[in-house]
Every structure is written in C-alpha cells, then in structure tokens.
C-alpha cells in the first residue's frame, strides 16, 4: 500500500548552483529570486521561466503562480530530467543544460512528509505544472488522491511528468540525501558541503544519471 508521506521527491540542479543554495540555506522558488542570485547554470529555458511565472496554480492561496513554488520530480527518471541527460531538443530545457554532462548535476532528495513538516503549502500536479491542461491537488485529500492515481495509471507513467510543488522555499534541513553520479562528483560535493553546516548523506547512484534504457530505475 502506498505510503504518501514517505513518497520520495527529487530536485535536480547543476553542481555549480550548490554553493549559492548553501549560502541561502534553502531551495528558493523562482519568484523569490530577488532573495538569491540567479542559478550559475539555469536548466530552464527563458520561455519556460516566463510560462511558469504566468501559470496560476488553481486552488492555491493568493493566486500563486507555478514560479512561487519549489519544484520536485516524483521519480528519478522524470521525463524532463531524461531530456537533460540525453540532450533532447525539449524547448523547456536551456541550451546550457543540454550541453552539460549529466554527471555534473546533483539530485536533492526529500519526502512529502519532510517538506510538509515546515507547514508550507504543498501541491501536486498531474503533469507539467505550466501546461494549461494540468490539474492540481492542493488540499491534503486531493494530493493523496492524485498521487495514488498517478501510481496506478497505465504506461507511460504520469509519475514521470508530474511535479510536487512546495510554496516559496524548502529549508535545506528538509533534504535527506544528495545523489551524485560517481565518486568524483561525490568528492566535489563533499568539498562544497564542507564549508556549510548542511550535512546530508551524499550517495553515488549512477542509474539516476543515465538514460532509462541504459540503467533500470528504482521505484520512487
């Protein structure tokens, strides 16, 4: 039986962004970027940034837009992350992100219970959050119902396009694991973390950084 609270969620960022994230102490939503420098490497294309800043999250307080939320994937093999890995010509992905090696990214992992503990508004989308056809689950019952449906729907799994959105920010203490591609990346990340008080587990898991046909993915 699905344990909603223990559902893992995944936030992908380039390693060059990690020092700025540590300096802020939180993952910050795009709409709050005035509180934080822009990413050293922005994985989203400019058009995607604008689309998410104008897309309203139905049912969220104060007419919040998608850009008011920190996005997480619901599976390590999320389709847009696969597009980054393969260099796919997906218009949502920046040219810089497509050109970068997948091993130069890190995956910050948490759970729904961890990010909910900060009493932030947590929303689930059943697809790309900026797509006009996407539906949102804002109330806890709606979130649980949507997540359970995503887990049982037929292939291709909608878990690969759905998002978990956390309003405004996610304190770093809510991140339980940093996934990296190889030993070299682990050493780089540990060196960056050494200058901070953030001490998550740093784990090497190569399948998360490969095309799905090259490496089977674990369950989320």
How far is it, in rounded angstroms, from Cα 102 to Cα 180?
Answer: 10
Cis amide linkage into residue 156, ω under 30° from 0:
yes
Q: How many Cβ atoms are within 10 Å of 37's Cβ, its own excluded?
A: 12
Q: Looking up tokens 């380039």, which residue turns up?
A: 14
Q: Is residue 215 part of a domain?
A: no
Q: Is residue 92 part of a domain?
A: yes
Q: Is the pTM of this model over 0.85?
A: yes
pLDDT of 156: 65
Q: Is residue 197 part of a domain?
A: yes
Q: What is the pLDDT of residues 174-197, one digit of tens each?
A: 999 999 999 999 999 999 999 899
pLDDT of 35: 47
Q: Is residue 214 part of a domain?
A: no
Q: Is residue 47 part of a domain?
A: yes
| Positions in the chain whose pLDDT score sits under 70 | 33-38, 118, 154-156, 214-220
Q: Is residue 54 part of a domain?
A: yes
pLDDT of 214: 59
Q: Which residues face 71 on adjacent strands?
A: 165
Q: Is residue 220 part of a domain?
A: no
Return the closest-CA partner of residue 56 out of 83, 31, 89, 87: 31
**Domain range spanning residue 95?**
4-209
Q: Is residue 120 part of a domain?
A: yes
Number of domains in the chain: 1
pLDDT of 218: 45
């Amino acid at each position: 039986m699905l344990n909603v609270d223990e559902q893992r969620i995944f936030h992908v960022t380039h390693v060059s962004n990690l020092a700025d994230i540590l300096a802020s102490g939180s993952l910050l939503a795009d709409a709050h970027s005035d509180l934080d420098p822009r990413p050293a490497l922005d994985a989203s294309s400019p058009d995607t940034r604008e689309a998410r800043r104008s897309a309203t999250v139905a049912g969220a307080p104060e007419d919040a837009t998608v850009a008011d939320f920190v996005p997480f994937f619901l599976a390590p093999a999320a389709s847009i992350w696969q597009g980054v890995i393969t260099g796919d010509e997906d218009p949502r992905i920046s040219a810089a992100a497509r050109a970068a090696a997948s091993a130069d990214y890190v995956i910050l992992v948490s759970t729904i219970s961890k990010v909910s503990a900060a009493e932030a508004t947590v929303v689930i989308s059943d697809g790309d959050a900026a797509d006009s056809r996407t539906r949102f689950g804002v109330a806890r019952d709606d979130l649980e119902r949507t997540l359970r449906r995503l887990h049982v729907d037929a292939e291709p799994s909608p878990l690969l396009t759905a998002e978990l959105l956390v309003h405004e920010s996610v304190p770093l203490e809510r991140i339980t694991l940093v996934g990296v591609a190889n030993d070299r990346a682990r050493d780089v990340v540990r060196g960056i973390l050494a200058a901070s008080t953030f001490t998550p587990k740093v784990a090497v898991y190569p399948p998360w950084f490969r095309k799905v046909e090259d490496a089977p993915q674990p369950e989320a």
